[in-house]
A = this chain, B = another copy of it.
Amino acid sequence: MFSDSPNNPSASPPECWTAREAELLAVTLRLLQTHGYDRLTVEAVASEAKASKATMYRRWPSKADLVLAAFIHGTKESAVAPRTGSLRGDLLAIGASVCQSLREHTSTMRAVLNEMSHSSALSAAMQDNFVHHRNVLMNEVLCEAVERGEIDAGVINPEIWDTLPGYLVFRSMVADRPPTEETVSMLVDEVLLPSLQRTRS
């Protein structure tokens, strides 16, 4: 499991790394994008970044830990609530940020995804350190919209609140039809807002 992952990940913000650690993660992402997961080694990252293997393994006990940390670090901008002042603005900003991450990290995500099917520890770490924070973010955005009187609290449904990132990831990973700005605005205006703004019976 993640070396700095506390027992209760729900209380923790996305982790903060030192500048040197962030540099090691950036090198990891770069090597991942060039060589893919299978051919990446912790040794290659250490060598490229002029770090000792001991330093690497002290922070990230395995290649899977290192790659997941690099992925989460590389997508951390998208973990911050956009706070544009309106639900529509927030959803468009989240969609744009997901698209940006997907453009940069699709190959890493494919690798992590493929690896997740072999490793339940990686799968759990992804759940605690990535998916969970994205859900907290979406909940914040929706609750703020309730406070502003834009939507009813009753329409918030955790079962399906990741429809926006979910569909964009599908488009990028599976359908081979990368989502555009237009995809995001159509999804927000024609699907999500009519759903969230409906009056419950």
Contact = CB atoms under 8 A, between A and B. Distances in A.
A159 B162 CA distance: 19
Interface stretch (A26-34, A44-52, A68-76, A180-188): A180-188
Number of copies of this protein chain within its complex:
2
A176 B116 contact: yes
| Secondary structure dominating the interface of A | helix
13 contacts: A110-B117, A114-B114, A116-B176, A157-B190, A159-B182, A163-B163, A163-B167, A163-B191, A170-B174, A173-B174, A191-B191, A191-B192, A194-B195
A107 B116 CA distance: 12
Nearest to A200: B190
Contacts of A116: 176
B131 A160 contact: no
A162 B175 contact: yes
A170 B166 contact: yes
Contacts of A195: 190-191, 194-195
